[in-house]
Each structure stands twice: as C-alpha cells, then as structure tokens.
Chain A
Amino acid sequence: METVKRLEAAQLYQRTDPEQFAFETTADLDDLEDPIGQSRAVEAMEFGTGIERKGFNVFALGPTGMDKRAFVRQFFEGQAQDEPVPSDWCYVNNFEEQHKPRAIRLPPGKGVQLRQDMEQVVEELRTALAAAFESEEYQTRRQVIMEEFKERQEQAFKGLQEQAQERDFTVLRTPAGLAFAPVRDGEVLSREEVEKLSEEQRQRLEQEAEALQEELQKILRQMPSWQREMGEKTRELDREVAGFAVGGLMDEVREKHSDFPKVVEYLDAVRKDVVENASIFSPSDQDPANVLSALLSGGAPPRGRGGPASLRRYRVNVVVDHSSSEGAPVVYEDHPTYQNLIGRVEHMAQMGALLTDFNLIKAGALHRANGGYLILDARELLLQPYAWESLKRALQSGQVRIESLGQMLSLVSTVSLEPEPVPLDVKVALVGERMLYYLLWQLDPDFADLFKVAADFEEQMDRSEGNQLLYARLIATLAHRDGLRPFDRGAVARIIEHSARIVGDAEKLSTRMRNISDLLQEADYWAGKSGNDVVSSDDVQRAIDAQIYRSDRLRERAQEAILRETLLIDTEGESIGQVNGLSVVQLGEFAFGRPTRITAQVRMGKGEVVDIEREVELGGPIHSKGVLILSGFLGGRYAEERPLSLSASLVFEQSYSGVEGDSASSAELYALLSAIAEVPIKQSLAVTGSVNQHGRVQAIGGVNEKIEGFFDVCKARGLTGEQGVLIPASNVKHLMLRQDVVEAVSAGQFHVYPIEFIDQGIEILTGKPAGERDEGGNYPSGSINGLVEQRLGELAAKRAEFSAAAKEAEG
C-alpha cells in the first residue's frame, strides 16, 4: 500500500497571478455588456424576450444576491429601446351607461392632446353657450314662446270673461281659484236680491253659473298641456341654439381627431350631451324657463349639481401617457399589490357619501407596462393577497379589467365603476428563488401555461484564465457603476481568489454579484481610509478580514472554549477510541469549522453500532445513514463468516445540539477501529470525510473551514509540526485555504493529507500498517486490520461460549 503524500503548499491555495493581467488598474478596462457566467440564463432571456407568443413569460430563478432583477431589466431595456412606443390609453365618460367608462386607445402623445383639446373645448363652450343664451335673438325667441303661451291663456280667459259678461256674470278671484258671480250694475247680487228673483230666473242663473264653471274647468284642464308644450318649445329652442353654438367648436376638434373612429364617436356623444344639457354650463343662470323645462323634462341634472363639478364628465382621463416615452416601457413594480397591478377606482367623499367617476380611475403596473415589459418580484407578488390571481387572469384573458377587491369579494355594494377592459400585450418577468419556481410549477396548474421560459441563474463559473479576465472586467464594471476607486491588478487577483473561496472551490468563481459588490465597496472604503487612490490587494484583504471579524464572535467563543479546555480537544498525544472530527457551523453567510471529539466504545454484543446522537434524536437521518454504513463496512470486511458479535456506541462529545451530515463517518470509523483494535490514535490529527461500505473516503463540504478550524486551535496552542488534517482526496480541488495555513504547511509545521481509503487514514492516525490479506486470506498479525479481526474473533467466540452456557443454564 502506497503511503499518502502530504499536500504541498501550492495545492492548498490556487493563486491568481496578477502578472497574467495586462492592465494596471480596472480603470483601463471596458465595462461588460453582458453578465458573466450566465450563458444559460442569457439564452433563456433572449428566447423569452424574442418569442412573441402567449404564455412565453419569463421566470428568472436563482438564489438571492445574483442581481437577477438588474439583469432582467437590462435585458428588457436593451430590447425595448428598439421597439415602438405603445399606445396611450384614456378613459372617457360613457354617456349612455355612466358606470361603464369607455377606454380609448390613441397613438403615443395623442392622449394628452385629446385631454387638452377637451379642456379647451369645455372652456370655450362655457363662453360660447353663455353668449348664445344671452343673445338678443335667443331672448327674443324665448320671449315669443312665453308670450304665445301667455296669450293663449289670456285668450281663453278673455273669452270666458266675455261669456260671463254676456250673461251678467263676473269672474272673482277666490282663495284657491276662481268663481262666477251674477252682477247687476257692476255689483254682485246679494243673497236677498237673488231670493227676490222668480224661480225661473233663479234657475236660469244657476244654469248659467254651471255652464261657466264647466267652461272654466275645461280651460284649466288644458293648462298643463299648454305648459308642457311651452316647455318643450323652449327646450327645442335651447337645443337649437346650443347645437349651433357647440357645432363649430366640436367640428374643429372632430376634424383634428378624425383618424380615430372611437374618438369621433366619443366627440359626437359629447356634442349630443352638451346640447341636451347646455344649462349646466351656466350655473348662475337662474332662468325660470330653464328650471321649468328642466323640471318638465325630468331628465336634465338638477341645478344643485351644476357648475364645474358636472363638467367633469367632459374630461379625458389619460391613464397611460406615453407622450415623453422612448421605446417600449420597462416597468418594475416594487409593491405589486392587487390594485397597483391592475389599477383601481378611487372614491371621493362628498356630503358624506362616497362618489366616483371615470376621472378617478388610476392605472396599474399592467397598464403602464402594456406594450412592453413588466418585472415583478415573485415573493412580493405571492405575498400580496389576490395579486397573483389577478396577474394570471390578466395574462390569460389578454386584458386588464379594473375591479375593486370589495366588488370582487362582494364585501361592499356601493356603486362602483366597471371600466371597459383594456387589451393587454405585455411580457412579464418574475424574479425569484428556485424554490418558488418549483413550488409554483408543482402547485399551480396555470403556472406552466403562463411562464414557459425559465431563466436559471448559475451561482458559479469556471475559473479559467479567460473567465478570470472577464471577472476583472466585471470588477471594473461594478466599480464604475458604484463610483468606486479603480482596483489594481493585485486587488483584482485577490478578489478572484476570494471569490473561489466563497464558492468553496479552487476551480470555480462565484457569480453572486452581491458578495462581490459588497467586497468591492468595503475594499474601497478601506482604501479611502488609508488615503489610497487605487484599491490594492491589502485593502481587499483588510475588507475580507474585517468581514470575518465582524461575524466572528461565535467562532472566537468556540475557540476560546477549546483553549480553556471547557471543550475537550487534544492536539497532541494518543488515545484509544477517540478521534478529532471536524464540523462546520453556518451562520448567515459566514461559516467556520470546529473540531469535535468523537469517541467509540465496544463490547460484546449482537453486532449493532449504536449512534447515541440518533438515540436521543440529536442526529439527523444522513448522520444515521453514515453510522449504519459503518456496521456494513465492519461486517463485510471482518465478519463475513461469523456473526459480528460486538456492540459499539458512537458519540459526538460535548455536542448539545443537532448533528447532521455524514462528513464525520470516516472519523467515526477510525474511532471504532481504534477501539476494537485497542490501538491509540494520534490526537494531533483531525479527520473529515465520509466513507462508503467498501472503505472508500468520499468528498465532503466546507473543507476549507474545517481545516482552518483545527489549525486555529493548534496554532493557538503552538504548532508542533506533527499536527494536520486528513481530508478526502476528492476535496483537494476545493482547497482555498487561508494564507497562514498555507504558510504553516510550507514551513512543515502543519500537514494536510489527502485520503482515498480508510486504510490510508488509519495508518497515518495510528502509525501502524493497516495490513492486507495474504494468500491465505489473513491479515498480517500486528497490523490494524489483523488486530481488528482478531478482536472480533475473540468476541464471537466468547459470545458463542456465553450463549452455550446460557442454554445449559436454561436446560
């Protein structure tokens, strides 16, 4: 068996040579156009933006801190600037059904123009109509109508009066009406005089009075219809005069907008309405004829609502105005509530009642983004009640319909509006975590129909030489964007190295923009503190150190506990059944390694390995799996032909919280082997790595932190040159160790052993050969494997004896 070669210092840290860069500082570099390392997402975005089919909306998924939104936005903006500016949208009054305002689509900029034209028309109408109604001609004509009515009345009464006179009667005004009285010499006959008359004369008087009264009734019954007729005539006149006054003004506007049939239709409706309701333009006009005609017609608005308030109906509410837009809109709605998305209808309080009209319709993000692009944060969207549903409905139906939530849920029944829906043509991009994407995919059947394009963001990229140069340009771009000092190439190299460390892989680089840009800003801060014009690698290092120091408290406490021997960790000497394991504690973005003592105890038993962590439910399932693999390994290797007659227990000493993961399984196995073979293990070493049933050591995560965790303890106690860490050989490519570790290794004060098989590890830990089976299938005596097999054999024999004795005792 070959001996394990300790790793060279160069293998512990993949440096980026600043000399490979041709530039001096990032100021010499051009900005990057595209994000780096996101070719998959870029292609998805290109496809998603390019394809103009229903349902091909984009979901940009990836972890936070990737700058996904900025990426999507940049992409959309690039696309949008060459696209046509979409239409303006206006809401106008629907004169037939007031509660259903009409939507009018107009070329960009025309919406505001229509609004201004209407404002001007209304203003001009006020003067034009006032002038028309004050004109001599109108007044005369109305006078004529009134006179005609009066004359008619007079004629009727005069006739009646004449009839009365002929019959010697006079008409008298009584409290509530009129009465006829017989007269003689201009005086009404008194009762006595009437009584003196003959029966015949009296009857004649009575008959004549009766006839006159009937005649009067007939006339009076006709009065209302005459009055109506007069009202109708006055109204007709009003209409004619208003129509003439309005005509010229409206024709002008109509001509101007004659290319748009819907506007023309609207303007015609306005014209009709103005003519019908000309009186609302002159609120001060208290002309009784108008009041009368208004009352008689029953349709005109009551005078109390006259004035500017009722002129609101001729306004134009431009909800989407693209008069100053260039290209298609790209909208990011940072607060995607139901109403902010699809728009809303506001109310205003008037005399204690809530009123609304089309002027209070407010556009939502979908209106603003119509004809362009809308970016939403998936989590924000899903957090808002009904927002997700409303977005789906709009995308499915291809139109935006403004409905108030209260209306939708039938919570309120105040009169509200039903604005005409607006056709929707928008590309939506949701930005969110992967989990949300997969959950939506799984749980929402509509999701797959509406968001057919997934732009999956990569959080790491290869650390090739070309990519490192791209990375340098990325740093230049970010520095430029944030207005930072230029970074010299040393600083760039250090950042690239740190980026590899962030992803925990010497051959990869992080594409999480947040980490990088944070580091750049902090390094810039330190450079400023030191009065440097250019950020150097020292500034970067200082920023990294400061970052670590700020999140370092718990690690320091753990180290301190070890150094003060509250937590028992040996870094020298030997002991049986005891090994230093390594675990990683993750706190937010900061992780640190911590040595843990793992011990094993063996005795005779039925072949089970008891995981104490699991027994007390402190161990997770993966950890238990690792431990069960150990019994598989033991049984398979040493007890093929006899029962595995041992009972072993394993424990993480002084661990009071959960243990998860199988990265300690090789350490557990070493402890177990040491306990069985009764061979001590060197405490100057620490172990990490998982193991399979054949004894092969497999890769684990957080290798850098683990090594540094043990190194820190050793360094604090003084490096002996004996100390080191056993790591899986497959983890060597992940090494990006701290500088002081690398220095200690190159000075021979600390060692890192890449391990492939358990046998290699146990040799290093015990200093004894592991031993291989000879031709006879036996392990050499004195080798670890030999000792283990021998011990297991003894245990099996004892157990056989024991059970025979037990049977005898029973028998």
Chain B
Amino acid sequence: MSSEERDLVVRRILVALDASPHSLAALEAAAELAARLEAEVLGLFVEDVNLLRLAELPFTQEVCVSTTARRRLGVREIERDLRAQAARMRRTLEVYAERAQVRWSFRVTRGVISRELLAAAAEVDLITLGRAGRSFVGERRLGSTARAVLTEAPCLTLVTQHGDRLRLPLMVIYDGSPLAQKALATATALVQGLDSHIIVFILAEGGEAAHRAKAQASEWLQKRDLMARFHSLTEASVSRLARTVRMERGGILVMPAESPLLQGEALLELLDEVEVPVLLVR
C-alpha cells in the first residue's frame, strides 16, 4: 500500500440532519460508508438561531403554504417544532445506523447552521449533507448551507440529494494535480475489494496535458489492478462535463475540491448540474 492510500482514514462521519429528504439521502450514504469504512456516524441537528430570532421580531409573520394565511410566530412554538424535528431525526438516525450496524451518536446544537456544521466538521474525517434544506418548492440548486460547507469544510465532503444511491462504478475527475491524485486514491480506496471498474474524466487544457494526465492515472490504476474507462475532456465547459457525467450514470463522483480548471463558481455550477452524489476531496 502506498502512502497516498493510507491517507484515506475515515473514523468519524458527520451527517447534517435537517428534516429534508435530501438529508435522509445523506444519512443513508453516511451509514453505508460508515459500514464499509468501519467508521462511526455522528448525527448533528442544528437549531437554526435565525428562526428563533425571527420569532422574536415584532413585525414578521409566517405565511402558511397550504392556506396562504398569515400569522404571528411565537418563540416557544418554534422551539417546540425544532425539538420535535430533532427527536425525529434522532430516531431516524437510530434506525439507519442499526440497520447498517454502525456505531452512532447524535447531537443538537443551536446557532447559524453553516457555522455550526463547519465547526463540527473540524473534528471529523467526512461530512455528508443534503444539497438543500427543507423547502416547499422543488429546489434543485445547491442550498446556501451546502455551498458554505462545500467551499469551507476542512474534510472530505459528500453532497447528496433525495433519491441518491451509492452505486458502482465510481467516477473520478482527474486533472493531474496532487489533489486530483488524492481524489483518485480516495476512489481507489472506496472500491477496494469490490469487483468494479472506475470511470475517469480527464480534465486538461490541451491534448498533450490530457495525454499525460491519462498516462499518470492509468499507471496508478494498473498498479492496483483496477480496470478503468477514460473520458478525455480538453477545454471542456462545465455543462459538457456535467452532461458526460450524467450520461455515464455512475455512482459517486469523486473530485478534487480545487482544480485550476474548475475555479470558484464553476465548481458549484457543476455540482448544480450533475445529479449524482459528489465527494469533494481536499
């Protein structure tokens, strides 16, 4: 085993639980990964301090979605609702964890959600969360919390959406950078022992670079007896990359958190458009 592989040590997986369907997918993924990597699942429910503040304000009202009626919100009501949600999430976590036969714990904190999640992420190896929080409309874009965590979390970050399943084969975005190398290593570690191949999307600025990157990745994989399929995408737009990923219908997309070719908004845009769980490696 090479040193890169030993880097993938996942002992604790944090899962951000709100009551949304996306977060249930995150929970399921967390439980599954924990079972595979022999890790522990930490459930975190954050009581949104913004909500509590809102309730204290004298002029804001709740607009009921089903009746469109307006009414004042009370702090105690909000607290009660949050407690109920937390209790429900705890029970859900228990069910999933027992089913996957992993150790688990559950914690409730109060604060600004993204801040609390990032704080908690500092103590774990992997954080999983849904791509958006609770919403009445069919929100497909990344939620603000997910954006914050994706860009700032110090650890591996897995973003899921409702209906996701951790399937094989894994997909990796590879651009030859050290971080991309780490992503490749992570993917390799995840499929270790499973009879599966890996799909590699080579990102490069030109044919030369692409060829080089491919050779590197190929050599790495061959050493580990892993079959792979390559897609070379030179000077590809985000939407083309997203389309290629969608067509492959693979499982988790493992990618470096930073890439010269996917800077800033481009990364988030890609995450918006691919409809698979994404594991950011940093």
Contacts and interface: CB of A to CB of B under 8 A. Distances in A.
Interface string A557-596: 0000000000000000000000000000000000000000
B57 interface: yes
Contact of B54 (A188, A206, A216): A188
B46 to A, nearest CB: 13
A189 B73 CA distance: 16
**A interface residue count range (under 10 / 10 to 19 / 20 to 34 / 35 or more):** 20 to 34
B56 A191 contact: yes
Interface string A152-188: 0110010000000000001011111111111100111
A150 interface: yes
A177 B60 CA distance: 13
B62 A178 contact: yes
Interface of B: 48-51, 53-54, 56-66, 68, 70, 73, 77-78, 81, 112, 133-140
A566 B230 CA distance: 131
Contacts of A154: 137-140
Interface string A331-358: 0000000000000000000000000000
Contact of A190 (B51, B56, B139): B56
A210 to B, nearest CB: 8
Given A157-B137, A189-B57, A175 B81 contact: yes
B62 A179 contact: yes
Contacts of A191: 53, 56-58
A11 interface: no
User: Chain B CB within 10 Å — which of A176, A190, A213 has the most?
Assistant: A176
A220 interface: yes
B50 A153 contact: no
A210 B59 CA distance: 8
A217 B49 CA distance: 25
Closest 8 CB pairs of A and B: A188-B50, A181-B54, A191-B56, A150-B138, A175-B81, A177-B64, A188-B53, A206-B59
Contact of B60 (A153, A173, A176, A209): A209
Contacts of B140: 150, 154
A286 to B, nearest CB: 15
Contacts of A180: 60
Interface of A: 150, 153-154, 157, 170, 172-183, 186-191, 194, 202, 205-206, 209-210, 213, 216-217, 220-221
24 contacts: A150-B137, A157-B137, A172-B54, A173-B134, A174-B51, A174-B62, A174-B78, A176-B66, A177-B63, A178-B62, A178-B136, A179-B61, A179-B62, A181-B50, A181-B54, A191-B53, A191-B56, A191-B58, A194-B57, A205-B59, A209-B60, A213-B63, A217-B70, A221-B68
B65 A170 contact: no
B138 A179 contact: no
Contacts of A150: 137-138, 140
Contacts of A182: 57
Given A173-B136, A217-B70, A221-B68, 8 more contacts: A154-B139, A176-B64, A181-B57, A187-B53, A187-B112, A194-B57, A194-B58, A217-B68
A213 B61 contact: yes
Contacts of A172: 48, 50-51, 54
Given A179-B61, A188-B54, A174 B73 contact: yes
A221 B60 CA distance: 20
A180 B73 CA distance: 12
Contacts of B138: 150, 153-154
Contacts of A206: 59
Contacts of A190: 53, 56
A123 to B, nearest CB: 34
A190 B59 CA distance: 12
Contact of B59 (A170, A209, A217): A209
Nearest to A171: B135
Contacts of A178: 62-63, 65, 136
A213 B50 CA distance: 18
B29 to A, nearest CB: 23
Contact of B68 (A187, A205, A220): A220
Contacts of B56: 190-191
User: Chain B CB within 10 Å — which of A150, A188, A194 has the most?
Assistant: A188
B78 A153 contact: no
A157 B140 CA distance: 12
User: Chain A CB within 10 Å — which of B57, B64, B133 has the most?
Assistant: B57
Contacts of B53: 181, 187-191
A220 to B, nearest CB: 4
A191 B135 CA distance: 25
User: Chain B CB within 10 Å — which of A179, A191, A221 has the most?
Assistant: A179
B133 to A, nearest CB: 7
Contacts of B68: 217, 220-221
Contact of B133 (A173, A175, A186, A221): A173
Contacts of B112: 186-187
Given A213-B70, A217-B70, A173 B63 contact: no
A220 B65 contact: yes
Contacts of B73: 174, 179
User: Chain A CB within 10 Å — which of B53, B58, B61 has the most?
Assistant: B53
Contacts of B137: 150, 153-154, 157
A173 B137 CA distance: 11
B246 to A, nearest CB: 14
A180 to B, nearest CB: 6
User: Chain B CB within 10 Å — which of A175, A186, A217 has the most?
Assistant: A175
Contact of B135 (A173, A187, A202): A173
Contacts of B50: 170, 172, 181, 183, 187-188
Contacts of A194: 57-58
A107 to B, nearest CB: 57
A220 B133 CA distance: 20
